[in-house]
Amino acid sequence: GAGVSQSPRYKVTKRGQDVALRCDPISGHVSLYWYRQALGQGPEFLTYFNYEAQQDKSGLPNDRFSAERPEGSISTLTIQRTEQRDSAMYRCASSFGTDYGYTFGSGTRLTVV
Amino acid sequence: GQQVMQIPQYQHVQEGEDFTTYCNSSTTLSNIQWYKQRPGGHPVFLIQLVKSGEVKKQKRLTFQFGEAKKNSSLHITATQTTDVGTYFCAGRNRDDKIIFGKGTRLHILP
């Protein structure tokens, strides 16, 4: 596609529910990254993939968070048993490789009530 | 862990004045990238610096990478209202992870 597409744009969920956030990267981009951005802060690294392989998941806050990219294209970030502190903007980015600039999507604003 | 510090956090300048934001890393970086995020938008890639002491220009924007590859700066000459936004530096460490600074929010006074 022309850009990085994230869905949904907004998600309101009740505490304790599971959510799945989707990222469709730019076609041909090898690397895909997940970041979380609080208001007024810089993006905080969560995890990244090269093709389908998860290279680094050290930024995932706890074991309620997981991500996959099974066919090396679309990725899903899943948060189980959501908590209010999970509320944030979740951003996906993709690039041709780890040595290139990122193209960010518009993000998913998650609100846990 | 690795930290990337950015100063100042906020900057208000009169239109036409210059603006500079500084980025410092606690560790040596493989490269550094700069992004601009408009209010309500997402970060947009501006440039990547790789070599020690490198200087790159994009119109009114000048980017520098320090000799020790631990600091960087972005300088905007003669700011315009279109320059409004938050400027982030992002340092790549040797584990290929990019760590973003907290950004400098630029506000232009007409």
The DSSP line for B10-35 is EEEEETTS-EEEEEEESS--SEEEEE
Q: Which residues contact A62 (CB under 8 A, 6 or more apart)?
A: none
Which among A45, A48, A104 has the least Cβ separation from residue B43? Answer: A104
Q: pLDDT tens, A2-24?
A: 799 999 999 999 999 999 999 99
When pLDDT is cut at 50, 70 and 90, the band that residue A47 belongs to is very high
Mean local confidence (pLDDT), B23-39: 95
Q: Residue B45: what residue type?
A: F
| Closest residue in chain B to residue A97, using alpha carbons only | B96
Q: Does residue B92 surpass a pLDDT of 80?
A: yes
When pLDDT is cut at 50, 70 and 90, the band that residue A1 belongs to is low
Q: Does residue B71 surpass a pLDDT of 70?
A: yes
Q: Does residue A43 surpass a pLDDT of 70?
A: yes
SS3 category, A84 = helix
Distance CA A57, CA B64 (A): 31
Q: What is the pLDDT of residue B110?
A: 83
Mean local confidence (pLDDT), A34-57: 94
Q: Does residue B75 surpass a pLDDT of 90?
A: yes
Does B103 contact A at CB distance below 8 Å?
yes
Helix (H) or strand (E) holding A88: strand A88-95
Q: Is the dihedral of CA A65, A56, A42, A74 positive or negative?
A: negative
Phi, psi of A84 (to 5 degrees): -60, -35
* Burial class of A14 by CB neighbour count within 10 A (0 to 12, 13 to 18, 19+): exposed
Q: What is the pLDDT of residue B3?
A: 85
Most A-contacting residue of B98, B104, B106 (CB-CB within 10 A), to test interface: B98
Q: What is the pLDDT of residue A37?
A: 96
The C-alpha angle with vertex B55 and arms to B101 and B9, in degrees rounded to 5, equals: 25
Which among A45, A55, A103 has the least Cβ separation from residue B98? Answer: A45
